[in-house]
Amino acid sequence: MGKRMADFPFDLIGFDLDGTLLDTSDELTLSLNHALSTVDIPPLSQAEVRPMVGLGAKHMLRMGLKASGTTDDALADHLLPILVDHYDAHLGSGSPPFPGLITAMDELAELGVRFAIVTNKYERLAVKLLDKTGFAERMETVIGGDTLPGGKRKPDAAPILEMIEQTGGERAAFIGDSIYDVAAARNAGIPSVAVSFGFLHQPVEELGADAVIDHYDALVQTLRTLA
């Protein structure tokens, strides 16, 4: 394995969580609609909610309220703990991995690559979700949006740099689906791969990633090309 590991350009791959590792849109839609229902706002469809996901729970809630005709930040603050509590209670019930992910991770692990998560989701929720879905044991570390002092989160470089420091990874790349992911990787001085199947807020080509994949079947070879 030593030679194969030396031949592969990376020893650490970091993943964003929502929209990159797991399709959490079903669970998040249910929790958002639960919060909205407490103030008699009609439910949104999963297709409506999907583009709201990926920039944090409060952003999703604000976008949900905006889609329902209100921009009341005080109401968003009121509903946020209701949304988070509901999500916490139902975590892992409907968040499948994206197609091809497990096969790609198995192949990378055979090459000696290790894995980590850097997400803007609360750390405790990220850890719980990874545990419920069976991915916790694959991860060297989990950096959440509230892990670092001062609340530093993507697109700041700090969470990516913390991931590298905690794991001792010398050659890292990051996989994500948002401008925050790409910018965080760039700010930390490592390559990024964007997934076109994620919770995109703009065309994937506009994210500025070093590479784009349309399916996890392409991940290993794409990483080789970034050497």
Is 16 catalytic? The answer is yes
Token duo for residue 213 = 């994949």
Q: What type of residue sits at position 205?
A: E
Question: What's the start-to-end Cα distance of the chain, in Å?
Answer: 19
Q: Which of 7, 11, 16, 131 is catalytic?
A: 16
Query: Exposure of 65 by Cβ count < 10 A (0-12 exposed, 13-18 middle, 19+ buried)?
Result: buried
* Cα separation, 35 vs 29, whole angstroms: 10
Give the pairing type, strands 114-118 and 211-213.
unpaired
Which DSSP symbol is given to 216? G
Active site residues: 16
